[in-house]
Structure 1
Amino acid sequence: MSLTEAKTSKNKIIRTAAVPGSLYGLLKGQLHFLNQYYDIIGVASEGPALQLVEEREGIQTKAINIERSISPFKDVISLFKLYRYFLKEKPMMVHSITPKAGLLSMVAAYFARVPVRAHTFTGLIFPTQTGFLKKLLLLFDKIICNFATHVYPEGNGVKNDLLQYKVTKKPLKIIANGNVNGKDLAYFDPLLFSEESILAEKESLGITDKDFVFIFIGRLVNDKGMNELVDAFYQLVQKHSDVKLVLVGSHEGETDVLPESTWNKLNAEKRIIWVGKQDDIRPYLALSTALVFPSYREGFPNVVLEAGAMGLPAVVTDINGSNEIIENGKNGYIVPSKNEMALLKAMTLFVEDPSLVSAMAKNARAMIADRYEQSFVWKSILEEYERIISTTD
């Protein structure tokens, strides 16, 4: 089926996620693009973001509550509601992107006899767990794959974990080098920010032109490597005083709470500048010298892509996604996860070798543009939809 035929037939595709924020944030613009060729419906839990998705993307949405945590009674209710809705709408495809939505959507779509059932693994939780919880989460992922007709890992790291743990024997295809939505390089463009605006922002934060500015963007939790980052930075500033660390993110509502000792250090060190969660991270990337992202696990971290698009080299941990975006020594450095001393060594190298940082910065944006430019990713997804739907007809 050609793209013209696809647009004429307007096959119905339902995209599902547990929370509307996933549709809103992870698939920005993509749903509107796909809606030119197919009838796209977004399904997620009730919330203001779902209405925003409908308005911004110009698609139909449906609120069906899906708990992110394990909740057997509520999960059965959600499963039944999804089944009834799929039965009513009779879509050609259901495509899910978050774990719980994937579990319930794939099972419901199977029993509702939806021809194409696709799931994208944006990250795996079970590899970092232990005991019964690990076995349970692994079982859930096996169920997703069992009921899905097509499985898409977001990157080679996720693919390798699915293979290593024998989650499925079905073909695993990575679309467009891995990232689910790509990056809008016209939006993440350092040239949008003048020297005057950057200087004004620096002054408001107490940053001088002499400062080397590291930036971290993400949730302020243990799992993001915050303990190692704060400790490494504490040691770094003992030797180098003209260094700042900007933290962009929140800890509110999190269960993975940082220990009091980390909070005490974070609050006591004046060279750590915590600006909270920000809707627009670009001004903070524009004033920074390098990203530092010592997370324990990711699927395919948008933060590393966005920092690269803004021309920043990065220090990242050797985890899924991060180690695919960063090439050691070319656009950043990769260090072992949960290793404070390795993190400190890399950060020190960045501060002490400005020519190296400058060379990596020149490569950063070009490497993102070459592999993750948004229109390329969208076109690749559309072509994959065309392929799998045409083979199903």
Structure 2
Amino acid sequence: MRIIQLIDSLEPGGAERMAVHYANALTKYITFSGLVVTRKDGALYSQIDPKVSYLYLNKKKTIDFKALFVLRNYVLQHKVTVVHAHSSSFFLAFLLKLTLPSLKLIWHDHYGNSEFLSKRPSGILRIILPFFNGIIAVNQKLKDWADERINSRTAIYLPNFPSEENAVFEHTILRGIEGKRIVCVANLREQKDHFTLLRVAKKLKVFNAEWTFHLIGKDFGDDYSKEIRDSIVAFDLEKNVFLYGSKQDIKNILDQSTVAVLTSKSEGLPVALLEYGWHKKPIVVTNVGEIAALVQNGKNGFIVPAQNVDLFYTALLTLVENDALKVDFGDALYASVVEGNSENVIIKHYLNWLETI
């Protein structure tokens, strides 16, 4: 097979990371693996394996004929057989299909608000997706949605998987006391619900003021991020909660951290959670998306209802105060990720599925 990943940007995010992960992983299994970025280059460029063929289109508008025909020529030149389009890049893949009908198209649905699918617009998807040969969903709810709303007969649920970092030049130094750092890797988006995290931090400060929270993720400079900053001040957390923006040296950051958390109110299967497991971090996370398929409460982490500050705080406090439990949870989560969400397992499922469509 000769497969390219199509993604709109390389700004750090779940869909973008998975596009890079697939492109990198496939170099070990197929004769040609490419990555095409349509609109915006970004920090994830440094994570692309040298064996991956890379193309940046610099697409300027929704229908950009110059970008379309550059992509068409690239596909013909490299004899690409499958275009794997991630998230919103599906429209360009559809236009490409109109010019090259023999291409197989795959759409990878990374929709983050899977807890609120009843509100998801589906009109344009119902028109375009019949031209696709298959749909990959990042959780079971999205797979069911594709079956029911798009009437797909070839949708599959494939979990995300972690990947080792390529060399990065960043070396982030976390503030706070070693052994007492709590990290949250999540872009500053509403679905990530950082306000629950801040309320938990406020409660923890009362009895464990030395523990600090470290928020890693892109700041979009919008009302949501402004409200986060305002809340940090209002809760008197300037010495307990730190914002770092988007970072590439996740392994380095996790190595400096003691506990890892996610307070999302909606998710697919977060890449951050897989990275936590890959690096043996003990976790407290919310029960959304496909998280419960990986996290068994009390066995390899704590999983609590979304937006429940008291239960999240109680679970976090239990973990903070029990060093043996931290080690046990970290080892158990690592074993769970290796067994069910390793690159090797997912890519084999992926390639076997492609053979059937």
Task: Assess, with a 3 A threshold, how the Cα gap between structure 1 residues 341 and 17 changes in structure 2: closer, same or farther.
Answer: same
Alignment of 1:325-336 (within 5 A): 325-336=294-305
**Match of residue 106 from structure 2:** 118
Match of 2:36 among 43, 55, 58: 43
| 2:23 pairs with one of 2, 27, 31 | 31
Structure 2 counterpart of 1:106, which letter?
Answer: F
Give unmatched runs, 5+ long, in structure 2: 167-172
Gaps of 5+ in 1: 1-10, 68-73, 189-200
In the TM superposition, 1:147-166 aligns within 5 A as 147-163=131-147, 166=149
Distance in 1 separating the partners of 2:6 and 2:176? 43
- One-letter code aligned to 1:207: I
In the TM superposition, residue 287 of structure 1 has moved relative to its aligned partner by: 2.8
CA contact (8 A) 2:57 2:71 kept: no
* 1:169 alignment partner in structure 2: 152
1:273 Cα deviation after fit: 3.5
- Aligned position for 2:170: none
- Code of the aligned partner of 1:364: L
Q: Distance in 1 between matches of 2:93 and 2:284?
A: 37
Which of 55, 63, 77 is the aligned partner of 1:76? 63
Q: Which amino acid aligns with 1:119?
A: W
| 1:52 CA drift (Å) | 4.5
8 Å CA contact retained: 1:117, 1:147: yes
> What does 1:1-393 align with in structure 2 at a 5 Å threshold?
12-21=2-11, 25-28=17-20, 30-35=22-27, 37-49=30-42, 52=45, 56-66=49-59, 74-77=61-64, 81-82=67-68, 85-86=71-72, 89=76, 91-98=80-87, 100-110=88-98, 112-125=100-113, 128=116, 134=119, 137-163=121-147, 166-175=149-158, 178-179=159-160, 181-184=161-164, 205-209=175-179, 211=180, 213-254=181-222, 256-259=224-227, 261-265=230-234, 268-385=237-354, 387-388=355-356
Q: CA deviation at 1:153?
A: 1.0
Alignment-mate amino acid for residue 57 of structure 2: I
Structure 1 residues 152-178: Cα deviation after superposition (integer angstroms, max 9, x where no partner):
112324324444x62333232234xx1
Are 1:153 and 1:174, in contact at CA under 8 Å, matched by a contact in 2?
yes
Could you tell me how far apart the structure 1 residues matched to 2:247 and 2:202 are? 25
- The structure in which a higher percent of residues are helix is 1
Q: Which has the larger radius of gyration?
A: 1
Q: Render the CA deviation track for 1:55-88: whole Å, top value 9, x for unaligned.
A: 7443444333457xxxxxx31336x853784487
| 2:169 equivalent in structure 1 | none
Q: Is the 8 A contact 1:183 1:305 kept in 2?
A: no
Partners of 2:97 and 2:46 lie apart in 1 by 22
Amino acid at match of 2:37: A
User: Contact between 1:248 and 1:275, CA under 8 Å: does it hold in 2?
Assistant: yes
Structure-1 separation of matches of 2:349 and 2:33: 17
Which deviates more, 47-56 or 371-380? 47-56
For residues 34 and 197 of structure 2, the distance between their equivalents in structure 1, rounded to whole angstroms, comes to: 41
Alignment identity in percent? 18
Shift of 1:296: 2.3
Are the structure 2 counterparts of residues 319 and 15 from structure 1 closer, same or farther at C-alpha, using a change threshold of 3 Å? same
Partner of 2:36, secondary structure, is: strand
Q: TM-score, normalised by structure 1?
A: 0.74
- Measured after TM superposition, the shift of residue 306 of structure 1 is 0.8
Scaled by the length of structure 2, the TM-score of the pair is 0.81
Amino acid corresponding to residue 51 of structure 2 in structure 1: G
Describe the superposition over 1:303-345 as per-residue Cα deviations: whole angstroms up to 9, x where unpaired: 1111111111211112113232212111112222223233223
- CA distance, structure 2, for counterparts of residue 125 and residue 141 of structure 1: 16
Aligned partners of 1:337, 1:50: CA distance in 2, in Å?
Answer: 30
Letter in 1 for 2:17: G
